[in-house]
Each structure stands twice: as structure tokens, then as C-alpha cells.
Amino acid sequence: MDLRDRIIVALDVSNLKEVENLIPLLSPYVRCFKVGLQLLTSVGVPTVVKFIRDLGGKTFLDGKFCDIPNTVGEASAAASNFGVEMFNVHASAGIEAMVSAAKNKGNSKVLAVTVLTSIEENNAHLIFGSPSKAKVIQFARDAKIAGMDGIICSPQELEILGKQKELDSLLKITPGVRPKWSSTDDQKRIMTPGDAIAAGATAVVIGRPITKPPKEIGFPRDAVMLIQEEISEALGGQHG
């Protein structure tokens, strides 16, 4: 796997100017850019996807669909028609909604969001009635049954997921990743980029440590280079 596909940058910004600044800087190190609710709501899906494509990037449409099966299916078909590399659906929408997404994914990859990495153990109990790890495994099994390409989970769940051989074929994309030199922000169940990849993450999603790096690190390009180096070391010195 190309080293550039190991990092997906979360473009949690509110306007296209910031996207236009970031993509050319980061493109030597990253191929896929995640656009989430902030940019999708401010600018709109078709505009954002076309804008990123014109700058040479691929899009991970982080729309986190969570609705009835028919609506999720129609939204998935629309996402796929825009030519996004990947998009996602909350596993909590249920197996039928995920089946509907998988049927309508076209050439895009569809991922199931398991338990948000910002949710602490106490809240996982309140929301799901079970520990986060147990819920993630159940959601991952549902995703596999439904025909999803992969899941989104915390890197802290990778070890236990790795023990479920039937889930081996699922892509495991992990946000909640923080280099040692960055602040944790609102993320709770976190790991460093190198550790996440070593634990079995297919790719890591990283936003603020790259888009708003601490002063001592420098600019977004410095941050992404450091993270790529760390990942390369975790993979035993692989180069991009």
C-alpha cells in the first residue's frame, strides 16, 4: 500500500479558500481528503467534491448518514455519483440501512461509523448500554454482514478487532489519532499515528494536528511530513 494512502487529512474548515491552500501543500504526502459536516454544510457536497478533484485530490465524504434504509440508499447513490473515493454511514442506523448503502455504493467505498472517538466509556454506557469495545465489535460484525467495505473506529479497538478473524477483510480507518507533540483536543480514545498503523489501521484520519499544527512544529506540511515519517518507521521503513 502506498504511504500516501495511510493518512487521510480531515479538512474541518469552513471555506474553500482554506481547502485551496491546504491541498497543494499536502498532496505530495496525502491522496485522500476527508470533508465533514462543517464544510459540507457551509459549501455543499457537489461543489466541495468537484473543487477537491480539480486540485488533484480524492474525497472521503464524511456525511455520517444515519437514517431509514431508503433515504440512506438514495444518499449513497448520490454520493457515489459524485465520484467520491469513500463515504460513511452510522452503523447505529442498522443493518438494513447499511445493506442499502452497500447496494448503492457504485465504485465508491462505504464505511460504517462504529463508536465516535470522542465518546468516553461512561457515555458509551449511557448511549449504547455497553462498553465501547463490545459495541464496536458488534457494529463491525453488522457492517461485515451488510457488505460494507470497512469501519471507522478508535485505534484503541484495533487490537481486539484484530482477534476477530472474520473481520480481517474490513478496512479499518481510525480517527482519534494524535502525535505525541500535539494536543488531544476533544478526542478521548486516542493513539499515536505509528502505534495505530502498527496495531492494524489501514489508514489514519488526522485533522487539527495537521491543519493547525502547534507553533513549534511549524506549518501543515511540516506536520504531515513528521507523521508520514512516524508511519514509515512503524511499517519498518517503507517509503512512499
User: Which one, 13 or 102, has the nearer CB to ligand C5P?
Assistant: 13
Q: Which residues contact 223 (CB under 8 A, 6 or more apart)?
A: 179, 182, 209, 210, 213, 217
User: Which one, 176 or 213, has the nearer CB to ligand C5P?
Assistant: 176
Q: How far is the CB of 184 from ligand C5P (least distance, A)?
A: 9
Cell, residue 48 = 466541495
Q: How far is the CB of 3 from ligand C5P (least distance, A)?
A: 19
Helix 69-81 vs helix 95-103: angle between axes, to the nearest 10 degrees? Answer: 30
Q: Which residues contact 65 (CB under 8 A, 6 or more apart)?
A: 71, 72, 75, 76, 87, 88, 89, 90, 93, 97, 101
Is 105 known to be catalytic?
A: no
User: Which one, 95 or 196, has the nearer CB to ligand C5P?
Assistant: 196
User: Which one, 126 or 236, has the nearer CB to ligand C5P?
Assistant: 126
Q: How far is the CB of 236 from ligand C5P (least distance, A)?
A: 25
Residues forming the site for ligand C5P (CB under 6 A): 10, 12, 36, 113, 116-117, 152, 175-176, 185, 187, 205-208
> Given the C-alpha cell 515519517, which residue does it identify?
229
The CA radius of gyration of the chain, in Å to the nearest whole number, is 17
Binning the chain into helix, strand and coil, the percentages to the nearest 5 are 50, 15, 35
Q: How far is the CB of 83 from ligand C5P (least distance, A)?
A: 21
Catalytic residue (one of 64, 103, 109, 212): 64
Q: How far is the CB of 36 from ligand C5P (least distance, A)?
A: 4
Count CB atoms within 10 A of the CB of residue 79.
Answer: 26
CA 6 and chain centroid, separation: 11
User: Which one, 12 or 67, has the nearer CB to ligand C5P?
Assistant: 12
Are 196 and 158 in contact by the 8 Å Cβ rule? The answer is yes
Known catalytic residues are 64
